Structure 1
Amino acid sequence: MTRDAFQRGNWQAVIEAHPLESPDAGAWLRYGQALLHTMEPGPEQGKQQQQAALAFLQAQKRGASGGALVAAKRQVVMVSLREALALAGLAETAARLDLSHFAANGGMPLPGADGPRRLLLVLGMHRSGTSALAGLLGQAGFVAPANPDPGDVNNPTGFWEPRHVRRFHDGLIASCESSWEDPLLPLLSWLPDPIEPAIDKLEEALAEDFAGIPADGVAVVKDPRQCRLMPLWSELLQRRALVVQVLLVVRRPEAVAASLWRRDQLPLDRALLLWVSHTLEAELHSREQPRLVVSYEALLKDPAAVVSSCQRLAGLPEQPLLAGLQGAWIRPELNHANKPLDVAADVGTRGLLQLATAVYRALSDGSMDAMERQELLDRARLELQERMQALLRLGSQRAMLQLFWEPRAGGGFCEEHSQRRAVVMERSKAEVVFVLPNTAAQPKALRLDLAEQPGLISLQQLELRDIAGKSLWQWGVGAADLPGHGANPHTRVLAEGLVLAGDGDPGLLLAIPAESLERLGSGSSLRVVARWQALPVEVARQVLEM
């Protein structure tokens, strides 16, 4: 492959192996750089310069940025300078010339000296074992994030997500009024335009999460949200000096759906749709990278073998796991779907389960022909797109719900102490469950923001449960009391459960007794069942002013 030849500095091999019909911008960058490396003074110099210019033009047509083109040419200049110094007898000076911040595929360096230059991306759907694998790799020669989010009752060994990168992902998704469990996220215009500021912020997040990483360290970047944000990451990898390998982690889709039902009460059909979406997006956008597919089942069966495979992929020396380390990280009792839950018995999931199972088999069956696998995955992607478009054609409405909690110590409501849930309301009805984190334990108050656009919300049921599923407080249509009162002038409770949300910052302060709030801890949940209908801004304002 031209990538391997480029890394060895075999410029002639890069030129000879380059396919002129290649759709890969990185391959055209390498081809152009190789042409410049082999250019010599003489009558052919002008022709060689034209060929290199055409190669860079082809790279630009296939998506390479102007910054990547400049950096690619600069790399050639720097390498030529090192060679010239060596020929002039200044070998020591040439050796001190630092070229390590240039990638083999061209690109610009990360700002600052502390940013990671080698990445292992751990891609996979939520509840697929990515946390266990990322944590284990951090003890086996890879570099874990400096300050990851702590674990909770659902993941006691930790999530091992780089905190600043995860927050960047959350902010990017929230900017298009969506959230991680929104099945229609791929249809939204989430990719920033212009893209450069977003890439800069992502770089800064990486540098903060892996500050002080050794120059040859391989940073483990794991966040399931990344699966559907890979187009942005692809831009980053193409433009910057990063050497990347990918782990694509897959787990049986029915097990993931069961685990999400138990943790988040996420409907089974929604969970399966998300599994297919996350998996296919991650697979598509990592095809050009050195990649290893890892099944959750293989990780449970032989963690040491999986870790060794990951070390070989990244070019790290293989080292055995320390005694007791394997058992500390890979614990069968944390397999949250080991209790039977008949996903296939749910009529609404049958078609989705069949689609998801086909994708899982294509990725986990090592004996399948590569061309057959890609054709199957491409067909699955078309079916997924048709299913998402069908949700819109059937009149489904998207709405954003957000739950705020005021900490026991006070300080009011703020974005840091909140959760967002994007819901697709088929026939205008939705059910969503907020699972509270550690920071929401024993809150002073809960506020439910019902929409980010004007609408009429009919609350059907509200229920607060502890981690064991015991009901602490509930409200339903027909109850004597109202579920709460408007938090500001943009919200009006019209009748029992009927709430008008305006175009400002509508919110409902829930009328939950203090003794129920005091019993809330990590893993407690709020279940919301509601109907929602969008309203024109003028109509909502008129009613609010009455």
Structure 2
Amino acid sequence: MNKAICILGMHRSGTSLMANVIHLMDVYLGEESALLNARSDNPEGFWELAEVVDLQEQILSTLRSDWNTPSPLSDQWWLLPQMTPYKIQLRNIIVKHFNNSNLWAWKDPRTCLLLPLWQEVLSGLGVEVKYLFMFRNPIDVAKSLGRRDAFPESQSFGLWLKYNLFALHYSARKDRYFVDYDTFMSGWEGIIHELIAWLGTNGNGDMEVLQNKLSSVIKPSLHRNRTNMKQQRQSLPVLVLDLYESLQAVAQNQVLSRSEKFITQIQKEIDQFVQLSSMLAKKSYLRMQLYWMDDNQLYSEKFSDYVTVKADNEYFEYEIKLPTSVKGVLRLDPSCQPARFEVEYIKIYQTSENGKWQLVSECSGENSFKGIVNLENIQIIDREGRLTFFSLNDDPQIYLDIIPEVYYECQFKIAVKLRCEPISNGMMDYLDQSKISLAEEIRAEITSMASEIARIFESKLEEKSAVYLQAQCEQFDIFFQECNRIYAQLEVIQKKQEKLIDSGAQNYDHLHHQFQALQQQFEENPLKHIYKAMGGKWKK
């Protein structure tokens, strides 16, 4: 595990292709079963470890961000206390997948934003890292994102600038190799020898065999949206054009990337970007992800797909295609951050013999949203006509049992019509503080109740005499009336908890179960039967 290759690059910039290329050069990227499955927007595969993608999404969510947020992360975010458990998780993932590999690589565009965390963990493991930097002209990246995610051009340019700037900044003065995607696709044969030398691998030994393999994966069909940049340069924002031209220069002369002039230039451009970002509006896009069960009836990134949702409070229908033979309960995560939603319907279609989509199941207000079997991290506001709810954190989950068994062998797609808007950070801070205050209040009150019950219970068990029990019938009657009073208070607290959107109910549940266990002990204790035999009225 002593050497690693970090593949850096903005989304839709050829990083998946480059991962496949170095895989053919004997660089290990993980077991195939651990990688994300290919999808319609990347049919040749992502070459991304599902666990890495999931972890990096969690980190961005904790930082109140996402992959498609143009604004930068907070300064020195990796030093925050919240990052400590993520560093431990990342270390475990690296050891689990690459402990026996001398030369390995990982690829996920989000690494451009989260590189300092990787650098700290890998340094602790004694891993030497090289950085393979892929970039693509920003106009073609914007076209690709527009087609896949319906992003406006300005949003895509902002993302292109952010990813490339911070990847350059975090990897400054490191061992880097730059590849221009457009140049690579038009003449990769001239780059391969230099790349092999930089990687320090023999490229499977036989160059002719390697080139034949590379020819099978570097396909002209992957080079879509080929813009004539000489004609379109002036349509780019100045900051974007300046950075693109700088990247082109270092790809032609790798030595330039190590010059202090280039490093200083990138720092200045980052400072400008951060200043401009502070004046821009917050993001208006969320991600809705659909999971289906694997063979072990579990949900994971590998068995999922997603679609970008425009968070502008306007209704729109979003579609996700499912693989053939999906069965069982689906899990729909409507958002990757706290937000307010209104869902008009959720529909399942299957392909018919004539190739058209045919409706087979529907979950809507007309059937009271029948088919929703469970909700997690969601607070329902209304389900009359439309399903209106808040997602309370970055992991809301809707479980859907809407695929009829008779259609299990068919090809499906799900269609969801909804509108949404994100909850502001200020509102979330207020709700978080409300949860903390309420949790402390509940914990103190119920702990006191449980202690009181335990004390009374223990004092009664110390008395063995049936005569004493008879004499104390009235005391017992009062005691169990008190139990009923306490239980009624618990119910009041529980209703208060629900109204205040308390997603931290675990403490409450634990103490509530303690109370129920004590009641059960009274029910099962032989003293109860003596008490009843003497004419006492046992009150539950």
TM-score tier after normalising by the smaller chain length: 0.5 to 0.7
Whole-angstrom CA distance in 2 between matches of 1:517 and 1:532: 35
Question: Does the 8 Å CA contact 1:400/1:452 hold for their aligned counterparts?
Answer: yes
1:239 alignment partner AA: G
Name the counterpart of 1:390: 279
Name the counterpart of 1:356: 240
Q: 1:230 to 1:470 in 2, by over 3 A?
A: farther
Name the counterpart of 1:329: 217
Matched, 1:490 2:382: no
Q: 1:459 to 1:197 in 2, by over 3 A?
A: closer
Name the counterpart of 1:179: 66
Q: CA deviation at 1:137?
A: 1.5
Name the counterpart of 2:119: 234
Matched, 1:280 2:165: yes
Q: 1:208 to 1:502 in 2, by over 3 A?
A: closer
1:193 alignment partner AA: P
Whole-angstrom CA distance in 1 between matches of 2:345 and 2:238: 33
Question: Does the 8 Å CA contact 1:299/1:306 hold for their aligned counterparts?
Answer: yes
Q: What's the C-alpha RMSD, in Å, of the aligned pairs?
A: 4.9
Question: Does the 8 Å CA contact 1:292/1:313 hold for their aligned counterparts?
Answer: yes
Corresponding residue SS for 1:136: helix
Which residue, out of 89, 98, 114, partners 1:201? 89
Whole-angstrom CA distance in 1 between matches of 2:316 and 2:262: 36
Whole-angstrom CA distance in 2 between matches of 1:540 and 1:429: 31
Question: Does the 8 Å CA contact 1:405/1:440 hold for their aligned counterparts?
Answer: no
Name the counterpart of 2:39: 152
Q: Which moved more, 1:149-158 or 1:500-509?
A: 500-509
Q: 1:300 to 1:464 in 2, by over 3 A?
A: farther
- Where structure 1 has 5 or more consecutive residues not aligned to the other structure, the ranges are 1-115, 474-478
- Deviations along 1:351-389, one digit per CA (max 9) or x if unpaired, are 6x5432321111112478745544443333223223432
Q: Which moved more, 1:189-198 or 1:503-512?
A: 503-512
Whole-angstrom CA distance in 1 between matches of 2:226 and 2:417: 24
Matched, 1:291 2:176: yes
Q: 1:413 to 1:205 in 2, by over 3 A?
A: closer
Q: CA deviation at 1:316?
A: 3.5
Please give the residue correspondences for 1:49-68 in structure 2 after superposition, counting only pairs within 5 Å. none
Please give the residue correspondences for 1:138-537 in structure 2 after superposition, counting only pairs within 5 Å. 138-147=23-32, 148-176=35-63, 178-184=65-71, 186-187=73-74, 189=77, 193=81, 197-213=85-101, 217-317=102-202, 320-322=207-209, 323-338=211-226, 353-366=237-250, 370=259, 373-391=262-280, 394=281, 396=282, 402-407=288-293, 425=311, 435=320, 438=323, 441=326, 445=330, 447=332, 449=334, 453=338, 456-458=340-342, 481=366, 484=369, 488=375, 490-493=379-382, 496-497=385-386, 499-501=388-390, 503=392, 529-531=419-421, 537=431
Percent identity over paired residues: 19
Matched, 1:129 2:17: no
Q: CA deviation at 1:420?
A: 7.3
Whole-angstrom CA distance in 1 between matches of 2:65 and 2:357: 29
2:70 alignment partner AA: P
Q: CA deviation at 1:182?
A: 3.1
Question: Does the 8 Å CA contact 1:442/1:519 hold for their aligned counterparts?
Answer: no
Whole-angstrom CA distance in 1 between matches of 2:29 and 2:294: 32
- Deviations along 1:478-517, one digit per CA (max 9) or x if unpaired, are x995894775582133665572327488666789896999
Q: 1:143 to 1:361 in 2, by over 3 A?
A: same
Corresponding residue SS for 2:278: helix
User: Which structure has greater helix proportion?
Assistant: 2
Corresponding residue SS for 1:149: coil
- Deviations along 1:109-158, one digit per CA (max 9) or x if unpaired, are xxxxxxx1111211111221112122111222433423333433333333
Q: 1:236 to 1:211 in 2, by over 3 A?
A: closer
Whole-angstrom CA distance in 2 between matches of 1:510 and 1:517: 15
Q: CA deviation at 1:302?
A: 2.5
Question: Does the 8 Å CA contact 1:482/1:497 hold for their aligned counterparts?
Answer: no
Q: CA deviation at 1:174?
A: 4.0
Q: 1:440 to 1:274 in 2, by over 3 A?
A: farther
Whole-angstrom CA distance in 1 between matches of 2:315 and 2:78: 23
Q: 1:520 to 1:355 in 2, by over 3 A?
A: farther
- Deviations along 1:37-93, one digit per CA (max 9) or x if unpaired, are xxxxxxxxxxxxxxxxxxxxxxxxxxxxxxxxxxxxxxxxxxxxxxxxxxxxxxxxx
Name the counterpart of 1:66: none
1:134 alignment partner AA: A
Question: Does the 8 Å CA contact 2:318/2:416 hold for their aligned counterparts?
Answer: yes
Q: CA deviation at 1:300?
A: 0.9
Whole-angstrom CA distance in 2 between matches of 1:483 and 1:124: 46
Whole-angstrom CA distance in 2 between matches of 1:471 and 1:251: 36
1:255 alignment partner AA: D
Corresponding residue SS for 1:490: strand
Question: Does the 8 Å CA contact 2:329/2:401 hold for their aligned counterparts?
Answer: no
Q: CA deviation at 1:313?
A: 1.7
Q: CA deviation at 1:249?
A: 0.6
Q: CA deviation at 1:283?
A: 0.8
Question: Does the 8 Å CA contact 1:442/1:521 hold for their aligned counterparts?
Answer: no
Whole-angstrom CA distance in 2 between matches of 1:381 and 1:483: 51
Whole-angstrom CA distance in 2 between matches of 1:440 and 1:354: 50
Q: Which moved more, 1:443-452 or 1:378-387?
A: 443-452
- Where structure 2 has 5 or more consecutive residues not aligned to the other structure, the ranges are 435-495, 503-540
Question: Does the 8 Å CA contact 1:260/1:266 hold for their aligned counterparts?
Answer: yes
Q: CA deviation at 1:251?
A: 0.7
Q: 1:363 to 1:344 in 2, by over 3 A?
A: closer
Whole-angstrom CA distance in 2 between matches of 1:448 and 1:144: 28
Structure number with larger C-alpha Rg: 2
Q: CA deviation at 1:419?
A: 6.1
Q: 1:388 to 1:126 in 2, by over 3 A?
A: same
Q: CA deviation at 1:254?
A: 1.3
TM-score (norm 1): 0.60
Question: Does the 8 Å CA contact 1:431/1:530 hold for their aligned counterparts?
Answer: no
